[in-house]
Amino acid sequence: MLEVHVDGWLREFGPKSKEQVAADSVAHLIDVLETRYPRLRFKVRDETGQLRRYVRVFVDGVDVSGTTGVGTPLTGARTIDILHSIAGG
């Protein structure tokens, strides 16, 4: 089981604290979270299924957003952090 944490903004739509999830990839993990929390849909991924531009996913502290993204395997992983950054001026 993976321990998943989401930032304060995403808690409005998803888990209010850490969540235990069994998943074999980041895409599968997000599928599970979206099934449990339908309001989370399209907040982390866009309509094509890719991570949104301002979302960062950390697998055991390593940012996978700009590399393997949703295709990142989670075999052996323990913690996932999903952060939604704020942009603007």
pLDDT at 47: 95
Per the prediction, the chain carries an average pLDDT of 95
Tell me what the mean pLDDT of segment 45-56 comes to. 95
The mean pLDDT of 49-77, rounded to a whole number, is 96
Query: Domain extents for the chain?
Result: 2-84
pLDDT value for 7: 95
Can you give the pLDDT at residue 85? 83
Contact by Cβ (8 Å): 80, 5: yes
Mean pLDDT, range 31-42, rounded to an integer: 97
Share of the chain above pLDDT 70, in %: 97
| Residue 34 CB neighbours (<10 A) | 18
Structural class in CATH, domain 2-84: alpha beta
Is the C-alpha dihedral spanning 24, 9, 36, 34 positive or negative? negative
